Each structure stands twice: as structure tokens, then as C-alpha cells.
Amino acid sequence: MINLKLSLSKAEQWVSQNEIDALFPSVRLASKKVYEKSGAGNGFLGWVDLPCTISEELLARLETDAAKIINQSDIVVVCGIGGSYLGARAVIDALSNPFGALLDKKTRKAPIVVYAGHHLNAEYHAKLLQLLDTVNYSLIVISKSGTTTEPAVAFRLLKKHIEKKYGTTQAAERIYAITDASKGALKKLATANGYTTYVIPDDVGGRYSVLTPVGLLPIAASGLNIRELVAGASRMEEFLKNYENPAENPAAMYAIARNILYHKGKTTEILAGYNPSISFLIEWWKQLYGESEGKDQKGIFPAGVNFTTDLHSLGQYIQEGLRNIFETVLTTANQDQNLTIPHSKDDLDGLNYIAGQEIASVNQKAKIGTMLAHVDGGVPNLEITIPELNEGNLGELIYFFEMGCALSGYLLGVNPFDQPGVEAYKVNMFALLQKPGFEKETEQILKRL
């Protein structure tokens, strides 16, 4: 059985049982395309049976390398972008102490994870290199293509830094490269320099790759339990596979509800959390759904909010702005629920009426109140609940979202596994940088400036 629950009860006004039933044949077909690998983008369905087929050998190797990284590093730098970055960060941020970086390593028990190559900001990378002068670190560089500009630029800087700091031989022992099996510049570089390497399977695209070494090595190096993460994802894989009836299959029901809402003009979905630790889980979800569905002039725009923080900023828009939105509330129960609101003798702030109550329970009331207010304001609310934020439940959630995304994409009639639109900015950037091979584009773009 799975722990994750999906509720459509606060979207009933917009999503009727008849409309749901009418989509059952289409979602069954979408599901068939996923499992039989017969739909668009079928070369990228390796993620479907990934959790249940991860080998003991790979898990053990990841754990051994992670233990080495933990042992020799105060910091581990994870260099990658998009699907080669967001999944690891989503899990690490969700499950790590938000103030862990301020604790000493003995208390923390694992290195602090910092990120590079996920943008091109010079100041950020300069400050990172300054920090790395003062600490022991290891480097995990991740790029499936091995040619993505942002991580390639950052890796040049980091390679130079780590080799200067430790010497070429020792540096090579601190660098872990995760890339394509055979092609790409990173593969060549890793082979030439003798780095430890891991392979990203050919049939797993970037945004579906968190349960490959792309996510698993950084997650293990941050001290988290990757076996439980994989076990949770396997639980969801098995469950969804066995529940062919869409009514009992939460990924199918999520895809159906999204599709009905989209066709009623609800073209923006806001994933809302009530726990700041899941901010990057929301970022990961945004990439998964945005890159998978936003094409052919179609697709739900994925947005994210952190409540109650954003109730004091975007809350106004959600309550009363353009009615083209729906929300999916991601509820994660707190593990430490024993923090209660203190009693005050003078009650100057007027809070004694909730003195003695757990903060988690106040947060819960804020959530229910907000959901009802937003529904009253014309915003359908879906709710996904996991009972506790831990590796196993996150594994379930990740696989649920991946399957929900694939089914949604097929229901929408797009290929959920490509991202042709990502190339447009690259072509312009290469033209402006006068990359060899882009001479014609350079000539054309310069005329536009």
C-alpha cells in the first residue's frame, strides 16, 4: 500500500463525476502508451520501471562513494542544471535541517551541499570559489549531454580550483562525473582524467532522472537514505501498475482532474506547500510539468507558492485575480509537532486564545481556511497528502508526479519527454558568443541588435 493520498473534493464544483468518467478511456490509452512504450517520446520511458529495477550493485556503489565524499569533505559541490540539478536539491532541501550549514560537521554528520552551474552569474561563482579556498570539498558534476553551457563553464572554474588546491591526482579522486555512457565532452574529460563516473541511462530524460545517480549520488552524499527513497518510489511504481482502474489510481486521477480544469480555462496550476523545506520540490515539479507539457502552443503553466508566506504576497491575486488558476496543495505532516504557543500573562498580543496549541495545528487551520477561501473565490483546489516528510514518502511522491506528468502529457496530446523549445535561447546565445558553427546565426542576430 502507498501512503500518498489525492483528494479532489475541493474541486467538485468544477470537476464532475461524469467528466471524470468520460476521460477514463483516454487515460487508459495514455497508460497503455506509457507501459507498452508505444507513445510519443517512447525512447525516454526508462524511468517507468527504474525504481523496481535499480540493482543492489549500483546502490552499494553509490553508498560507498557517498561515504567517501562524506568522510573527506566539509562541502560537496553539485554542478548541474535543470534535470541534472533540481531533483537532488528537491530531496536534499526537503529532508535536511534548514540551519544545517550553521552546525559543526560532527553534529551535522554530512557535508553541506552547495550548487554550481545552475546559472551563469559571475558573482555567485566567484564567491563560491572563495569559500572553497577555505574548506575541504568534493565535486559532483552532472550533465547528460555533457555539453550544457552553464555547468560546463562552472566545471572549468571548479576543475581549475580543485586541481590547484589538491594537485591533479588527488583532485581526480574528489571528482565524480555523472553523464552519458559514451558520448559528450564530460565523458571524454572524465575518462581522460580518471574521475569516478556514473552513467545516466539513455532512455531517461533529465527531468525524470532523480532516481538515477543524477539524484542518488548527491542525495546519498548529503547523508540521506537512498534505499528508502528508492523503496518508496518502488512502492508507488508497483501500486500504480497494479491499479489499472483510473478511479483507484491517484496518478491517473490527478492527470484527469488537471485535464478537465485546463479545458475549462484553468490554464495555470499553482503547487502550494505549507513547509518552506519543500520550496525546491515545487521547483522540481515546475520543471517536470513545464518542460513536459508546455509545447505546441498548449499546456498548463506550472507555478508555485510557499504558504503561509506567500499568502501575504500572491494570496491577493489567488483570491481575487484572473480566474484562470487552480491550486494543488501539497500537504506534508510535520515530524516535530511538539512546538506549542506559549501562554503570556499580559496577553498584549491577544494570542492567549491559541496558547498551548501546536504551531503545526495552527498551520493546519491556516491551510484549511485558505483552501476554503480560495474555493469560494473560484479557485479549484486539489490536495496531495503525504503523512510525513521522509525518504520513503518522497520516493512515492516523485514517482507519482512523474507518472501523473506522463499521463497528463498524453491526455493533452503532446510528447511529454522532449523539450525542443529549450534550444531557442541556446542558439541565440551561441550566435552572440560567436560559437564556431553558428556563423550564419551570428550574422543574423547582430543585425537585430
**End-to-end C-alpha distance for the chain, whole angstroms:** 59
| Identified binder of ligand PA5 from the candidate list 39, 51, 206, 299, rule CB under 6 A | 206
Q: Does 327 bind ligand PA5 (CB under 6 A)?
A: no
H-helix or E-strand spanning residue 285: helix 279-293
Contact 354, 339 (CB under 8 A): no
Closest separation in Å from C-beta 173 to ligand PA5: 23
Phi, psi of 116 (to 5 degrees): -145, 160
Q: Which is nearer to ligand PA5, 144 or 367 (CB)?
A: 144
Separation between Cα atoms, residue 29 and residue 71, nearest integer Å: 49
CA distance 406 to 29: 12
- Can residue 292 be called a binding residue for ligand PA5 (CB under 6 A)? no
Candidate residues 15, 81, 116, 305; the one interacting with ligand PA5 per rule CB under 6 A: 81
Q: Does 143 engage in binding with ligand PA5 (CB under 6 A)?
A: yes
Residues serving a catalytic function are: 291, 312, 426
CA–CA distance, 103 with 207 (Å, rounded to integer) = 32
Please report whether residue 145 would count as binding ligand PA5 according to CB under 6 A: yes
Nearer to ligand PA5, 83 or 213 (CB): 83
Closest distance of CB 192 from ligand PA5, Å:
19
Site string for ligand PA5, 249-288 (x = CB under 6 A): ----------------------------------------
149 binds ligand PA5 (CB under 6 A): no
Give me the least distance between CB of 37 and ligand PA5, in Å please: 18
Q: With contact defined as beta carbons under 8 Å apart, do 428 and 439 qualify?
A: no
* 84 in contact with ligand PA5 (CB under 6 A): yes
Do 418 and 42 touch, CB atoms closer than 8 A? no
DSSP of 3-60, one letter per residue? --EEE-GGGTTTS-HHHHHHHHHHHHHHHHHHHTT-STTGGG-TTTTHHHH--HHHHH
Q: Which residues contact 376 (CB under 8 A, 6 or more apart)?
A: none
Whole-angstrom distance, CA of residue 102 vs CA of residue 328? 33
Q: Which is nearer to ligand PA5, 147 or 361 (CB)?
A: 147
Q: Whose Cβ is closer to ligand PA5: residue 143's or residue 381's?
A: 143
Does 290 help bind ligand PA5 (rule: CB under 6 A)? no
The number of C-alpha atoms within 13 Å of 259 and in the hemisphere containing its C-beta is 26
Q: Report the nearest approach of ligand PA5 to the CB of residue 215 (Å).
A: 11
User: Please, what is the angle between helix 391-412 and helix 86-95, to 10°?
Assistant: 140
205 binds ligand PA5 (CB under 6 A): yes
- Binding residue for ligand PA5, selected from 159, 207, 258, 295, defined by CB under 6 A: 207
x-marked contacts with ligand PA5 along 212-251 as a string, rule CB under 6 A: ----------------------------------------
Which range of residues in 3-11, 120-128, 145-153, 344-352 is near ligand PA5 by CB under 6 A?
A: 145-153
How many chain residues touch ligand PA5 (CB under 6 A)? 14
Please report whether residue 374 would count as binding ligand PA5 according to CB under 6 A: no
Q: Tell me how far CA of residue 146 lies from CA of 35, 83, 140, in angstroms.
A: 29, 13, 13
Tell me 34's DSSP state: H
Contact 351, 341 (CB under 8 A): yes
The residue range among 38-46, 50-58, 201-209, 431-439 that interacts with ligand PA5, by the rule CB under 6 A, is 201-209
Report if residue 151 touches ligand PA5, rule: CB under 6 A: yes
- Please name which of 26, 112, 130, 103 lies closest in space to residue 70, comparing C-alpha atoms: 112
* C-alpha cell read off for 426: 541556446
340 SS3 class:
strand
Q: Which residues bind ligand PA5 (CB under 6 A)?
A: 81-84, 143-145, 148, 151, 205-207, 291, 419
